[in-house]
């Protein structure tokens, strides 16, 4: 019903995709849905594929402002080994992290109010493709803010490392269709393809054998 639409923003921009928030009265859920890649602005978010650290929210779901580019670069290039396992810092695709921060900034108060008015409801975050990745990061950021939340990530791309959030978060359910290439694609794969293409350009005999 139209009255169950709490908030909606259908226009995306870089680092803030379209989204909507609705009530599911039958299942007693507040649902935040994040749209996947649809516009050129969404594509720019996709292409911000470096790795970004982020923090789990401790206060009112508000996400700390991202560090400056130079600070992030310094952290990435300081040559120190990152810890692995339980104590590893949450890390993910930069475009998805920035988008999750922005969605958190504009939706946190609305969702908190809805859950306070409906104490028997819980939060579900969902999205497809880019939206699935952003939902996974956002669910990780909010795991202490909205206890009991669930994330449904459909066709979620490779979002972060295996040893830390959001990949090892048990509240995130990833649904992948058979033979979906984008869910298995990572920046490492793109680097491998680039290297292979460069070698084919240099080795004409190998290229001719493949194309034969």
pLDDT values of the chain reduced to their tens digit, one per residue, 212 residues: 788 899 998 888 888 889 999 999 999 999 999 998 888 888 777 777 777 777 777 654 444 444 443 344 334 444 444 444 455 677 778 888 899 999 999 999 999 999 999 999 999 999 998 888 899 999 888 988 898 899 998 887 877 766 767 766 777 888 777 776 666 666 666 667 667 767 766 766 765 666 56
CB 31 within 8 Å of CB 22: yes
pLDDT at 89: 78
CB 134 within 8 Å of CB 100: yes
pLDDT at 37: 81
Q: Which long-range contacts (C-beta less than 8 Å, at least 24 apart) are formed by 186-193?
A: 186/157, 186/158, 187/49, 187/50, 190/49
CB 170 within 8 Å of CB 160: no
- Measure the CA–CA gap between 194 and 156, rounded to whole angstroms: 23
- Measure the CA–CA gap between 57 and 46, rounded to whole angstroms: 24
């Amino acid at each position: 019903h139209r009255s169950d639409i709490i908030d909606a923003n259908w226009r995306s921009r870089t680092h803030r995709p379209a989204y909507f928030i609705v009530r599911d009265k039958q299942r007693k859920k507040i649902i935040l849905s994040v749209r996947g890649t649809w516009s050129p602005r969404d594509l720019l978010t996709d292409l911000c594929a470096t790795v970004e650290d982020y923090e789990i929210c401790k206060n009112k779901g508000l996400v700390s402002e991202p560090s400056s580019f130079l600070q992030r670069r310094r952290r990435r290039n300081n040559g120190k080994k990152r810890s692995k396992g339980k104590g590893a810092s949450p890390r993910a695709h930069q475009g998805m992290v920035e988008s999750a921060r922005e969605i958190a900034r504009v939706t946190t108060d609305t969702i908190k109010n809805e859950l306070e008015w409906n104490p028997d409801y819980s939060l579900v975050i969902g999205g497809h493709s880019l939206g699935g990745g952003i939902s996974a990061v956002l669910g990780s950021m909010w795991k202490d803010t909205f206890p009991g939340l669930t994330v449904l990530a459909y066709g979620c791309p490779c979002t972060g490392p295996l040893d830390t959030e959001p990949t090892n978060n048990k509240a995130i359910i990833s649904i992948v269709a058979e033979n979906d290439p984008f869910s298995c694609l990572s920046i490492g794969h793109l680097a491998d393809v680039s290297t292979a293409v460069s070698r084919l350009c240099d080795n004409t005999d190998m290229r001719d054998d493949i194309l034969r």
